[in-house]
Amino acid sequence: MTPETPVPGGRRRQTPPPGSRRRESTTLGYLPPVREPRFSPTVVRRTAVATCVLAFLIGTAAAATAVVATPLPGWVSRAGAVVLVVLYAVVLTYRAGGRLAVWPPLVVVLTAVALTTDIAWALSMLAVVTGVLAAVLAVVITRPAVQTWRVIGEFTLAVAIGLSGALAVAAWNAPVVYQRFAILVLALSLVLTFAIVWSLGAGLHGLGQRGFLLIVGGGLLMTLVLVYSSAVRAYGSPVVVESLDGAFAWMRDTIGGVPRPAQFLLGLPALVWGIGTRADRRQGWWMCAFGVVGTATMTTQLVSADAVPSYIGLSELYSIVLGLLIGLLVRRIDPGTRRRGASAGAGGSRARRDEPETVIRPEPERTRPLK
């Protein structure tokens, strides 16, 4: 006899004996097996970041052999420059939200043409591309900060990338005229940085009177510094030119270097100021955009074969220190800059402005695209 099993409704259902196949089948949806990813996105991202940092350190060390006497062969410096320019192209394209399938391959093709043919214009163009990519990347890789030590950390990162770009440009040993090369790198860096900042939604809307005056004032100061420094040499009176030459010679003989006005008066202070301003409003990107004046000037210092590394190094050191101090001072006296940890004991608008803040305007992480 087949055992019976009670079911709802009073009817009875026969249960097949043990070992026999069930006649009733239940139709179930088929779910194909899905293999779990071998590596999580977090592991992939960390591995990519570690690879980029390692490539940056190796490329910078190799490119430095172009200005530092070592027993290594001459091709080592250019190999380091190749690593750096490709790294700049990949990281900048990713950070700016560009097409990785377009821009880095173009840089690779240009590098291959320059190395295989050794054509003068190809090397010169590659040196320009290297200086521009390093200068712009040094600015867009930063993140907003409120605390002073964090601002200094972001500033240090930008300076490190700018100095590595200077070493990479020197490694190409391109036949260029310094003045034309410096102006071209600066102009292209400004155009590219402004285009990136505009695409981030930091347009002219919402600037207000204060922000508009800051940007116009920065542009006028940049024009004054650049135009005056060039015009005074060509059209200045002999007395003025001799006075400037005497001051530069005194600083060179006394402290070993001459600070760069475009760096410590405009570019680097604007970068420090912009990093802090971005913590409150995205229009702080415009201040950072003027910071590319400092990084672009930095990447072009060693392009000339007659450049003295010790003199250039000390001049950059003085410019960096002065630019950082001026930037922190401007950030301190700016009434619209937020400072964490300030006293809020007194009443009034000043106390409300200096009240400790814990919220920073959100921006993507350093390892993610800005848009």
Instruction: Give the pLDDT confidence of 73-85 residue by residue, as tens digits.
Output: 989 999 999 999 9
Q: Which residues of 114-131 are buried (b: 16+ CB within 10 A; e: fewer)?
A: bbeeeeeebbbbbbbbbb
In a domain, 353, yes or no: no
Over its length of 371 residues, how does the chain's per-residue pLDDT go in tens digits? Answer: 545 555 555 555 555 555 555 544 455 566 666 666 676 778 888 899 999 999 999 999 999 999 988 888 989 999 999 999 999 999 999 999 889 999 999 999 999 999 998 788 999 999 999 999 999 999 999 999 989 999 999 999 999 999 999 999 999 999 999 989 999 999 999 999 999 988 886 566 555 566 667 667 766 776 776 676 666 666 666 777 777 778 878 888 888 888 988 898 888 998 998 898 888 877 788 888 889 999 999 999 999 888 888 999 999 999 999 999 999 998 888 766 665 544 344 444 444 444 344 456 778 889 899 88
Alpha-carbon span 15 to 5, nearest angstrom: 6
CA distances from 52 to 40, 46, 89, 91, 303 (A): 19, 10, 12, 8, 25
- Residues contacting residue 303 through CB under 8 Å, at least 6 positions apart: 127, 131, 169, 170, 174, 176, 178, 181, 182
Number of independent structural domains in the chain: 1
Q: Residue 153 corresponds to which tokens in the numbers above?
A: 């950390």
At 341 the pLDDT is: 45
E strand residue ranges, the chain? 4-6, 12-14
In a domain, 24, yes or no: no
In a domain, 365, yes or no: no
At 110 the pLDDT is: 93
**Residue 367 identity (one-letter amino acid):** T
- Residues contacting residue 158 through CB under 8 Å, at least 6 positions apart: 138, 139, 141, 142, 271, 291, 295
- Residues contacting residue 371 through CB under 8 Å, at least 6 positions apart: 96, 97, 199, 200, 201
CA-based torsion, 205, 209, 214, 217: positive or negative:
positive
Alpha-carbon span 167 to 170, nearest angstrom: 5
CA distances from 9 to 6, 12, 13, 24, 105 (A): 9, 9, 11, 19, 73
In a domain, 90, yes or no: yes
325 backbone dihedrals φ, ψ, rounded to 5°? -65, -45
Of 314, 59, 315, 54, give the one whose Cα is nearest residue 164: 59
pLDDT digits (tens, 9 = 90+) for 35-44: 666 767 788 8
In a domain, 106, yes or no: yes
In a domain, 47, yes or no: yes
Asked if residues 60 and 77 have their Cβ atoms less than 8 Å apart, the reply is no
- Residue-level length of the chain: 371
In a domain, 328, yes or no: yes
CA distances from 214 to 217, 239, 313, 353, 366 (A): 5, 34, 31, 20, 27
Q: In the 3-class helix/strand/coil scheme, how is 24-84 assigned residue by residue?
A: CCCCCCCCCCCCCCCCCHHHHHHHHHHHHHHHHHHHHHHHHHHCCCCCCCCHHHHHHHHHH
Whole domain around residue 122: which residue ranges?
Answer: 43-340
- Helix 75-96 vs helix 103-117: angle between axes, to the nearest 10 degrees? 160
5 backbone dihedrals φ, ψ, rounded to 5°? -120, 125
In a domain, 111, yes or no: yes
CB-count burial class (<10 Å; 0-12, 13-18, 19+) for 258: middle
